[in-house]
Structure 1
Amino acid sequence: MMPRCRRVTAEGLLSLRGLRRLRTLDLSGSSQIGPLDLDFLSALGGLETLHLACCAHITDQSLSSVRSLALLKELDLKGARITDVAMPYIGGLSRLTNLCVKRCSRLTGEGFVYISQLTSLEVLVLAKCVNVRGECLRVLSGMSGLRVLDASNCAKLQDAHLSFIENFVHLRSLRLAECAGVRGGVMRYCEGLSGLKELQISRCRSLSEIDGLFKLTSLEKLDLCDCSCVNDACLAALTALRRLRVLLLDGCMRIRDEGIRHLSSLREIEFLSLGSCAELTDEALRHLTGLTSLNTLHITNNANVSSSGIGWLSRVTVTQ
């Protein structure tokens, strides 16, 4: 591994051609690698993991050398200057299980038809691909083996574009944080994902409702930070999520003490974040005394919480 080796040049990379048993290569942050400097990869036919994150000069042409890596399982292209033209090169990697194109802002999604051919893919990270058009994601509907989908910060994504999610019956993690077009209809498509363990819809400021959330009874991590629709009634619905271990509610300004009372039945909660929930008082902390698995609590920026409220926390008996 050679991450952030900013002085590595094409000449140095050529010396790797003889390492035919190499399985993992991490060149992340190697800023001296040029668009035509990856030809040496064709000699590394046994490579299974390749990280090229934050290599500023990686382009579509660079990836023409990647298509020969028939055994490749993991490919990280975060921040690369690639476009949809590069997608056919990736689409031929039939054994690929993990693909990250986070912050590849030149992608529009037109080439995702090639990604849909990756039948072994389990993890797909599209976060911060701000120019990906939502309608282009529909071609991914056949990827039933997908376990992790991260489409956070995809500004053009809307509820109507997410209907394909209901086909991902093996999905374990869905991340849609900061998707301004997500309004609540997405929950209808998630209802059948019985194995979903993680859901992130934080800072989806247009989110109008989260009905159906209570049906996701396998959830272990739920991030609702800065979702203005979350109120006490929503927290009452969360009582069905008995496996929940991590709950993030920072910035949910409509939550009151009575809402926190509903959380007292979630005995598996280990991590609870209630920062900047302006309506909460000391009474809210009294309701937490029954959370016997709690080991981390964030209550920053809550002006109505005093030392008296903190005193209630001393009554929490954490079981090992």
Structure 2
Amino acid sequence: MEVSDEVRIIGIYGTDGIGKTTLAKAVYKRISSCFDSCSFLAEVEETTQNSHGIQFLQKKLIHDILERDRADLSFDERIEDFLDIFREMKVLIVLDDVEKLSDLHAVVGNQLDWFGPGSRIIVTSKYSGILEEFDSDKARNYTVSELDDGQAFELFRKHAFRMQSSIPDYDELSNRIVNAIEKLPLAVEVVSSFLRGKSIQEWIKMEKLMTARLMSSQKTTVGLHELLDICYKELDQQQKDIFLDIACFISGVDARIALYMWPSCYLSSGRILMSLAKIGENNELQMHRLLRRRGKDMFEQGISGDPIGRKFYIQEKGKENVEALPINFTAQNLQMMPELRFLKLDNVKVSGKFEGAFASLRWLCWQRCPLDFSAENFVLTELVILDLSWCQLTEDWGGWSDIKRSWDISVTSISELRDSIGNLKSLKVLRMDSSFIRTFPGEIGNLTMLEELHASWCRSLKGAIPGDIDGLHRLRSLTLGHSSISSLPLQIFTISGLHTLDLIQCNEIEELPKLPPSLICLRVSSKRMKAIPRLEDLKELEELCLSDGDPKARRAPSKLPMPESNVKRMIDEQFFSISFPKLRKLELSLLQVIKLKFGLTDIPPLKRLKTLTPPGLSCSDVSELPQKLLAFKLYHSAIEEIEGLEGLEALKRLDISNCKIQNLNGIDQITSLRSLILSESDDLSLPDLSNLKSLKVLEIIRCKMISQIEGLEKLTSLEKLNISECPAEKSVQVPGCIEACNGSFSGYVMLDSPQF
């Protein structure tokens, strides 16, 4: 991607399943750090098919570029209202799967004049002419071709064997299967992932099924749809049900919630149903849009092989066998539907008698439901998930009854939960995120089956969490971030199975009680924190995020003794000790700590410790860093010196931002370093970097003291160089580096100096 101050738009074209989105994501991830703000707008065509789809995309773009904590839930603001701000920013925007030029214009304009100099817009589409109305000097087009035989076989091995090399007994069979299918990455992934872990007899069966399909269709290769049909027929009935459920109704839903739909199914992390569905980084169910589309076609056409005979509800068809209603409809459409499992209503009022109806209903999504509830016998005995988002309900709503396992009242105006909630003995998940709930009911401890309690972004939630919480013996996840709670009860220590506790930006908390040793993930930050919590017993911790103040109010290191209450919560008066043997991610912003110490005697090998991030530390001695550390992030810190940096033999990424640090002595000995990112550190100077032969990424942004970069021209592995708003951009080493690294650069060179 060439460097230019002009706004440029890049089109990535190719047939469905060719890998356009994958390519766009890879580019986005690689160059996003070179821009002021970034936004990835996925599945534009599908989004615009929904009501307010364009407004949703515009709101997400505004949210991403302005880096808001949370998007406004209304559509009152127009993107045109923010153009004066956008035109001052260099942004990276990806619009994935665009089919209509009007959608593109609605989001990024039609003259490329909505965003600041140097901005880049990437568009993926199956239509090569989607950019033809833009200035040809500012638009670039790239076509993604099918895989060649070697690439297809390499991708097949990766998914079938989870390795680059193949298994001898499978080599010839693998070649025949790869040669028989379309060379689309998605098709290769589907069949290879489906065969992973299966016996050679099952591989031979797959080859025979593919051969039979080729003979019947008289084609030279098996297409994606044919492969999907073959794989679908080989699933057992429960797997077929799960595939159709995800394809038609719940793609993108939290997998931990969806699990309650299939009580006897275990969803392992990462991948389910072989290659047909996955679980993303945020636990969301993922399925490629082509697979979803094919699943919906099978569902609607009644060719899914389901013995119940699933079908979409259509006005003129009978309803006795309907198993899912994903559409909006009025009250008069409601009739006896004994096989209905999913029901989605939007702004629908129901009335009448419902005795015996919805006997199989397990998931009810009722958005914008009216305050008036006049239905009789609306008993949902099999219901496991209730979604009442976007509603204006109160605690007096007449529909609070017969909820079984999962209760989602997110984004409602409910401000109080009655104590009668304690009667929901089977409730497993309670979600109240972004609601107006003010307090927890005192009877919450009676929800003895509860496993997850979510109340993040409940700004009205204040005061202490009730002590009755100790009755939640099965509780695994408690998320209360961005609320105004002031304290946790001492009884929380007795919840022996608690794995996740999220108290991010709970700024009224002053101290924490002793926490259960079962915790795996602990996230705590408060501007009012008076004392560092005692964490030495949390030996199961894998992720720790801890902040005891506001980084914006950073103060100079204190030489005065700590208050006695704080000292009691430290290992000693000088150090905050880190000794969690399973720790993988660590993020600290501790304004009360002078020195940070890693208790190496308690941490074997530290092979699992991946990320160290201590922002806001008022620390002058960081000498005992783990030797196996892979990534070290330091930001909003008063640290002036790091001792022992040369001992980080395995360090691959060093990221320093908004710090008082003066030098990086020893960095030249970290030959494993792959990425060095420095920004907003006015006192920092650099030693000679010529020994960092493995360095691939170097970014230096707004560091006023760095005028020369000694050894830059010897960094022959560099792939990305970004030097801006500091004297170093004019140094003589820069052009020499570009010339020396001409063969290795991937084209990502960002320099603000006019001479480049």
The TM-score with structure 1 as length reference comes to 0.71
Match of 1:72 among 471, 474, 498: 498
> Does residue 137 of the first structure (1) align with residue 570 of the second (2)?
yes
Shift of 1:164: 5.1
Shift of 1:40: 8.0
Q: What does 1:1-320 align with in structure 2 at a 5 Å threshold?
A: 5=411, 7-11=413-417, 14=421, 18-20=426-428, 23-35=451-463, 45-56=473-484, 58-60=485-487, 62-63=488-489, 66-67=492-493, 69-80=495-506, 81-84=508-511, 86-88=512-514, 90=515, 93-103=516-526, 105-109=528-532, 112=534, 115-129=535-549, 133=566, 136-138=569-571, 141=577, 143-145=579-581, 147=583, 148-152=585-589, 154-159=590-595, 162-163=596-597, 165-167=599-601, 169=603, 170=606, 171-180=609-618, 182-183=619-620, 185-187=621-623, 189-190=624-625, 193-207=626-640, 209-225=641-657, 226-230=659-663, 234=665, 237-250=666-679, 251=681, 253=683, 255=685, 259=687, 261-262=689-690, 265-267=692-694, 269-278=695-704, 287=713, 290-292=716-718, 294-295=719-720, 297-303=721-727, 305=729, 309=734, 313=738, 315=742, 317-318=744-745
Q: Distance in 1 between matches of 2:410 and 2:688?
A: 45
Shift of 1:283: 7.1
Q: Which amino acid aligns with 1:298?
A: N
Q: Distance in 2 between matches of 1:248 and 1:287?
A: 17
Aligned positions, number: 291
2:465/2:489 contact within 8 Å kept? no
Shift of 1:290: 1.2
Cα distance change on mapping 1:228 and 1:33 into 2, 3 Å:
closer
2:530/2:548 contact within 8 Å kept? no
Shift of 1:253: 4.7
Cα distance change on mapping 1:213 and 1:41 into 2, 3 Å:
same
1:18/1:43 contact within 8 Å kept? no
Cα distance change on mapping 1:23 and 1:219 into 2, 3 Å:
farther
1:4/1:29 contact within 8 Å kept? no
Shift of 1:270: 4.0
In our comparison, the structure showing a higher alpha carbon Rg is 2
> Which region of structure 1 is more displaced relative to structure 2, 24-33 or 272-281?
272-281
Q: Distance in 1 between matches of 2:743 and 2:707?
A: 17
Shift of 1:260: 5.4
**Cα deviation digits, residues 132-188 of structure 1 (max 9, x gap):** 946733177584425244332x222113xx3454445334433332323x12x322x
> Which region of structure 1 is more displaced relative to structure 2, 95-104 or 5-14?
5-14
**What stretches of structure 2 of length at least 5 have no aligned partner?**
1-253, 255-407, 429-448, 551-562, 747-756
- Structure scoring higher RCO (CA < 8 A, sep ≥ 6) equals 1
Q: Distance in 2 between matches of 1:278 and 1:178?
A: 21
The TM-score with structure 2 as length reference comes to 0.33
**What is the DSSP-based 3-state SS (H/G/I as helix, E as strand, rest coil) of the residue aligned with 2:724?**
coil
% same residue: 17
1:266/1:291 contact within 8 Å kept? yes
**Cα deviation digits, residues 215-256 of structure 1 (max 9, x gap):** 11121222344444216xx2xx32332332332222355536
Q: Distance in 2 between matches of 1:106 and 1:204?
A: 18
**Cα deviation digits, residues 109-140 of structure 1 (max 9, x gap):** 3x52xx32333223332223479946733177
1:6/1:30 contact within 8 Å kept? no
Q: Distance in 2 between matches of 1:127 and 1:3?
A: 30
Larger % of strand: which? 2
